[in-house]
Amino acid sequence: MSAKQWIAGINAVAAAVEHDADNVREVLIEAGAKNPRLVEIETAARRKDIDVRRVATQALEGVVGNLRHQGVVARYAAAKTFSEHDLEGLIEAAQGKALVLVLDGVQDPHNLGACLRSAAAAGATAVIFPKDKAVQINATVRKTSAGAADSIPVIPATNLSRTLRDLQQMGVWIYGLAGEAQASFYSVDLRGNVALVLGGEGDGLRRLTRENCDQLVTIPMPGGEAGAGVESLNVSVAAGVTLFEAVRQRVAS
């Protein structure tokens, strides 16, 4: 069984047991481990009728390879899945306060996991990324996201440009982050239905993605010309900065 069918680590497994127990087939815990968090996971899993086994450390390493398992892994059937068809309902449910994170071609699973974690913490409505030429949800993403990959709507888009146009039709204003943009990100109103679009590592936003944004903005960086563009920030850092500026504006309003 491939590592993609397993999730590893205390936070990831605890979140899966709490939020998506129907898809957790079994939990394996390191025999003799004393961490009280592992006891909590075992108790929660048994309460939800999930099979729990105590196994040797080698058994855990055998199913997740090089992933750091922290003494616990879970066999996972499938995450709750969302598609573009769910977007309209998600936007409507947000009642004029939708906050969508769009990632245009992130390649590093650690970056995607960190973005999902920030999005969940910010109460984002959904995270959208392309089905092709971008990292998808896998075991590394689940672990890095600390469970966020299974607690927030994640939508792989067949055609990202079309999905952006659909969002516009739903009343969502789309801001693309681009280093050469003239407008400061901090000058825009983020209190209504908004989507924040960030490019992948290195290349930033693709041309068609840019063309389907309502406005391009930049994160001001006082560190000088070397820090003038959003591309100089790690994408997961940029996601945190932008998402929580939206949170700040909404809390202050």
**What are the E-state strand segments in 24-111?**
24-30, 51-55, 72-76, 99-104
10 labelled as ligand-binding?
Answer: no
Yes or no: say if 73 and 65 are a contact pair by the CB < 8 Å rule.
no
Q: Calculate the alpha carbon distances from 98 to 90, 102, 197, 218, 247 in Å.
A: 8, 13, 14, 21, 11
82 secondary structure, DSSP code = -
Beta pairing partners, 71 = none
Nearest by Cα to 148 from 116, 110, 125, 126? 116
Nearest by Cα to 99 from 139, 130, 127? 127
Yes or no: say if 9 and 68 are a contact pair by the CB < 8 Å rule.
yes
Name the residue with tokens 């996601």.
239
Nearest by Cα to 72 from 109, 34, 110, 108? 34
41 labelled as ligand-binding?
Answer: no
219 labelled as ligand-binding?
Answer: yes
Tokens representing residue 105 in the block: 């071609």
Alpha-carbon gap, residue 80 to 60, rounded angstroms: 24
Binding residues: 199, 219, 233
Binding residues for S-adenosyl-L-methionine: 199, 219, 233
